[in-house]
Amino acid sequence: MLQGKWITLGVSGGIAAYKAADLASKLTAQGAAVHVILTAAAARFVGPVTFAGVTGHFVHQDMFANSPDCAIPHIDLASRADLLVIAPATANVLAKLAAGLADDLLSATALAATCPVLVCPAMNAAMYQHPAVQKNLQVLESYGYHILEPASGRMACGTVGKGRLPETSVILEKIYQLLTPQGNLSGLKVLVTAGGTREPIDPVRYISNRSSGKMGYALARAAAQRGARVTLVTTPTALEPPPGVEVVRVETAQQMLEAVMAVYDRVEVVIKAAAVADYRPARMAEQKIKKSDAMLVLELVKNPDILGQLGQHKRPGVTLVGFAAETADLLQNAADKLRRKNLDLIVANDVTVPGAGFGSDTNVVKLLYADGSVKDVPRLDKLELAHLIWDEVLRLRGK
Ligand code: CTP
């Protein structure tokens, strides 16, 4: 995702400096060239060898040292960067940046930077709350710096409060957002459903399916990265919801229908990646069903077809996208669903193909459009496929 990007990562001297090594490693794994600046205090927490090891690049500590890839370190590290990230940013670094000091490599680089700057403060909760720190953060915001709020929880000093460096995944998300070219879904209101519904049999059992929710979460994540306002209606999954997304949790198809209808009037695009159970037990037993020697027969009644209902009440300007997970007659079944549910696009996948469908991190699909055209998509990572689906949604919307 970050292929060809130069990220200058400033690490300042707090205990969270050790987490910056994980960040540097993950950014490198995504294809970014990560050039680390360690302040003198940071180097007392984590040594340059660690950062050089995970990034494969020289680690910068001194304004005046010879560096293999920068002639004038503070200028090169600023002008060649697509993004300057300072994580963790200590109270001292925030004060220096706010005042415009340039007495070490990191502060001088920040002054010379014309790329976006992401600042991730991390410190003891009392320090973070201090008016001086809060004022400095306001000043940095007024310079156009992006500030990632610290997380709350237990800190290394033993106190509990706000000041922890957010998890690497949260910082990465913010970085993707800042490096995504144009945020071309900016302001678009979208609804995504994800996961397999659970239809209760009794208080301890339910009927469900193999949906992991990964495709729906990837669609929500990709949309948020590109600036959309995303509502994610999800059944219970093992996944962390993407940051910046409004999450509505449901279990049954009936609850999903209600949650979807509650927001349908406000959205412009709906993508129904959820695997909705077509049937539910006619009655949920109030007590746990005990086994007996007789055969157990479950009576099932039909669930509402949520997407079908959206299609029936489709407003002009709304784009409806469905999924069809099939084991046979892929194109014919998908084309039939597209027509029946009044969709603009259906994403069809044959779940028997290796690397496609439930639980997998990749998917192999065909895209079928209301005008009868079909596109074959090669095997893609689900997040890449999500971005491609959003590209197609934009095209259909004439953008
Ligand atoms: N869907 C829905 N409500 C249902 C069933 C399906 O909203 N009760 C949506 C799914 O989220 C998906 C699309 O409809 O986007 C197709 O789902 P699928 O289960 O493949 O279609 P069905 O119409 O249920 O057909 P099938 O007989 O193959 O199950």
Alpha helices in the chain (DSSP H): 17-29, 42-45, 48-55, 73-79, 91-99, 105-112, 125-129, 131-142, 168-179, 214-225, 253-264, 306-312, 330-340, 382-396
Question: Ligand 1: which atom is nearest the Cα of residue 333?
Answer: 28
pLDDT of residue 181: 58
How much is the average pLDDT of 89-117?
Answer: 97
- Helix (H) or strand (E) holding 348, with range, is strand 345-350
Q: Which CATH architecture has domain 6-179?
A: 3-Layer(aba) Sandwich (3.40)
Q: Whose CA is nearest to atom 14 of ligand 1?
A: 307
**How many A from CA of 274 to the centre of ligand 1?**
8
pLDDT of residue 353: 85
Q: What's the fold here for domain 189-396?
A: Rossmann fold (3.40.50)
Percent of the chain with pLDDT over 70: 99
Task: Please name which of 147, 121, 115 lies closest in space to residue 6, comparing C-alpha atoms.
Answer: 115
pLDDT of residue 163: 95
Q: Whose CA is nearest to atom 23 of ligand 1?
A: 337
Grade residue 274 by pLDDT with cuts at 50, 70 and 90: very high
pLDDT of residue 356: 79
pLDDT of residue 190: 97
The tokens for 236 are 């219970």
Grade residue 31 by pLDDT with cuts at 50, 70 and 90: very high
Paired strand residues for 206: 200
pLDDT of residue 70: 87
Cβ–ligand 1 distance for 325 under 6 Å, the answer yes
Read off the pLDDT of residues 53-77 as tens digits, 9 standing for 90 and up. Answer: 999 999 999 999 888 888 899 999 9
Task: Please name which of 112, 100, 114, 91 lies closest in space to residue 39, comparing C-alpha atoms.
Answer: 91
Contact assessment for residue 41 and residue 12, using Cβ atoms and an 8 Å cutoff? yes
Paired strand residues for 362: 381
Mutate to test the pocket of ligand 1, among 278, 314, 345 (most ligand atoms within 8 A of CB): 278
Residues 93, 98, 101: CA angle, nearest 5 degrees: 70
**How many A from CA of 187 to the centre of ligand 1?**
28
Contact assessment for residue 159 and residue 125, using Cβ atoms and an 8 Å cutoff? yes
Residue 182 in this model has a pLDDT that exceeds 60: no
Average pLDDT of the chain, as a whole number: 94
Grade residue 250 by pLDDT with cuts at 50, 70 and 90: very high
Cα-Cα-Cα-Cα torsion 62, 67, 71, 75, nearest 10 degrees, comes to: -40
**How many A from CA of 306 to the centre of ligand 1?**
8
Peptide bond just before 88 cis, omega within 30 deg: yes
Domain ranges of the chain: 6-179, 189-396
Mutate to test the pocket of ligand 1, among 232, 234, 252, 276 (most ligand atoms within 8 A of CB): 276
Q: Which of 70, 115, 120, 157 is catalytic?
A: 157
CA–CA dist 237, 275 (Å, integer): 12
CA–CA dist 340, 77 (Å, integer): 56
**How many A from CA of 181 to the centre of ligand 1?**
34
How much is the average pLDDT of 166-191?
Answer: 86
Residue 183 in this model has a pLDDT that exceeds 80: no
Q: Label each residue of 255-285 as H, E or C.
A: HHHHHHHHHHCCCCEEEECCECCCEEECCCC
In sign, the C-alpha dihedral spanning 256, 258, 262, 268 is: positive
Grade residue 14 by pLDDT with cuts at 50, 70 and 90: very high
Residue 162 in this model has a pLDDT that exceeds 60: yes
Distances (CA, A) of 346 to 268, 313, 331: 17, 18, 10
- Please give the model's pTM, rounded to 2 decimal places: 0.67
Mutate to test the pocket of ligand 1, among 198, 219, 305 (most ligand atoms within 8 A of CB): 305
Cβ–ligand 1 distance for 244 under 6 Å, the answer no
Contact assessment for residue 42 and residue 84, using Cβ atoms and an 8 Å cutoff? no
**How many A from CA of 327 to the centre of ligand 1?**
14
CA–CA dist 257, 309 (Å, integer): 9
Same topology for domains 6-179 and 189-396, yes or no?
yes
Read off the pLDDT of residues 299-330 as tens digits, 9 standing for 90 and up. Answer: 999 999 999 999 999 999 999 999 999 999 99
Cβ–ligand 1 distance for 274 under 6 Å, the answer yes
Residue type at position 344: D
Cβ–ligand 1 distance for 324 under 6 Å, the answer yes
Which is higher by pLDDT, 40 or 160? 40
The tokens for 71 are 């002639």
Tell me whether residue 115 is one of the annotated catalytic residues: no
